[in-house]
């Protein structure tokens, strides 16, 4: 894609992680490491796209506080067009706190997405022209039901494709009414129950393939279901497949799914076949797993293709 832009709509958060040095005991003080970074599914996807030389325009909301200023500063430094982000006086920028186990696996997460109420119907309609010119709209599920209704109304009006990340099992169900309007949706295993209406979540190759095919039967053009270290299944109207995950030494799992989405979207925008777009996504996820950053700061198209080994 030489011209145009991707419109990314959703969360921009302060992502805080705490990783203890030993197993946790309640009501005790634990030595460990705490880090803070700019995050949010939508913001992370936008940064991955920007680093892959795709113009990414972000619609989101932050508070007029230090966290909001830091997020906007980091967005600009990464090449994201964040001039349309709503800055809300008196509101707290969204935040996410994850407590990890000593091995780096997530234990529990606390989220504060209250500021997303300001990414409302009026705000989106005020930015309607950005929908009209977009090559694709990318959303996460932190958007309210009213905001999602406007997103799909405008996307249909301007015949622009919508790709969605379900974000979490708690939020994934918000996409259910719109699956027939989605170009691509990419749940992880835990999100498939809320999204697909399946009794049990996908957990292996066979169940992931079935879930991806089920999403396509519900109207989604491309469905991707990730099952952690096993890999991912994908499907479209012409078929699909399964890609085994790259054997990677994990430094930090944060942001790997967003890197996957960004690289897949990059590939699809450049008209590569679906299976190749998936391999680009898996490669980007692997690079992110090996990095201590939520988005690999040195990510480029050349790096992505140089590391494309599957």
Q: Which residues pair with 86 in a beta bridge?
A: 61
Residue ranges of E strands in the chain? 6-9, 13-20, 32-39, 56-59, 61-63, 86-88, 95-100, 106-112, 136-140, 161-165, 184-185, 222-226, 231-236, 239-244
3-state secondary structure 7-21: EEECCCEEEEEEEEC
Confidence check: pLDDT of 1 > 80: no
Confidence check: pLDDT of 310 > 70: no
Whole-structure pTM over 0.75, yes or no?
yes
pLDDT tens across 23-36, in order?
988 899 999 999 99
Residue 95 DSSP SS3: strand
Phi first, then psi, for residue 89 (nearest 5°) are -65, 140
Provide DSSP, 200-246.
Answer: S---SHHHHHHHHHHHHHTT-SEEEEE-GGGEEEEEETTEEEEEEPP
**Where is mean pLDDT largest: 97-106, 191-200, 245-254?**
97-106
pLDDT tens across 67-124, in order?
999 999 999 999 999 999 999 999 999 999 999 999 888 899 999 999 999 999 999 9
Determine which helix (DSSP H) or strand (DSSP E) holds 114, and give its type and residue range: none
Alpha-carbon gap, residue 213 to 244, rounded angstroms: 18
Alpha-carbon gap, residue 44 to 96, rounded angstroms: 14
pLDDT tens across 125-159, in order?
999 999 999 999 999 999 999 999 999 999 999 99
Q: What percent of the chain has pLDDT over 70?
A: 99
Which residue did the predictor score with more confidence, 203 or 184? 184
Q: Give me 184's structure tokens.
A: 């691509």
Alpha-carbon gap, residue 250 to 232, rounded angstroms: 17
CA 36 to chain centre: 18
Taking alpha carbons only, the member of 75, 136, 77 closest to residue 277 is 136
Report CA Rg, the chain.
18
**Average pLDDT of the residues in 250-269:** 92
Give the largest CA-CA distance in the chain.
55
């Amino acid at each position: 894609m030489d011209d145009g832009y991707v419109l990314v709509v959703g969360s921009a958060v302060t992502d805080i992680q705490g990783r203890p040095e030993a197993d946790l005991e309640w009501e005790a003080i634990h030595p460990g490491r705490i880090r803070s970074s700019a995050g949010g599914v939508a913001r992370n996807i936008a940064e991955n796209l920007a680093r892959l030389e795709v113009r990414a325009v972000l619609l989101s909301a932050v508070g007029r506080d230090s966290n909001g200023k830091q997020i906007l500063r980091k967005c600009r430094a990464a090449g994201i067009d964040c001039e349309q982000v709503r800055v809300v006086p008196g509101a707290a920028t969204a935040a996410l706190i994850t407590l990890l186990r000593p091995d780096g696996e997530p234990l529990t997460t606390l989220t504060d997405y209250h500021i997303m109420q300001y990414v409302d119907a009026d705000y989106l309609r005020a930015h309607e022209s950005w929908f009209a010119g977009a090559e694709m709209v990318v959303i996460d599920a932190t958007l309210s039901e009213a905001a999602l209704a406007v997103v799909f109304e405008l996307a249909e009006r301007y015949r622009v494709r919508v790709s969605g990340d379900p974000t979490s099992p708690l939020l994934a169900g918000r996409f259910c009414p719109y699956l027939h309007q989605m170009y691509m949706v990419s749940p992880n295993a835990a999100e498939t129950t809320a999204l697909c209406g399946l009794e049990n979540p996908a957990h292996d190759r066979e169940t992931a393939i079935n879930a991806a095919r089920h999403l396509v039967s519900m109207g989604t053009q491309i469905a991707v279901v990730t099952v952690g270290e096993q890999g991912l299944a994908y499907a479209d109207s012409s078929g699909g497949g399964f890609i085994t995950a790259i054997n990677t030494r994990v430094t930090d799992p944060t942001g790997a799914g967003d890197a996957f989405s960004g690289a897949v979207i990059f590939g699809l925008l450049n008209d590569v076949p679906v299976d190749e777009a998936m391999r680009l996504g898996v490669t980007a996820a692997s690079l992110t797993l090996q990095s201590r950053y939520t988005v690999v700061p040195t990510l480029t198209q050349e790096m992505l293709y140089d590391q494309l080994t599957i």
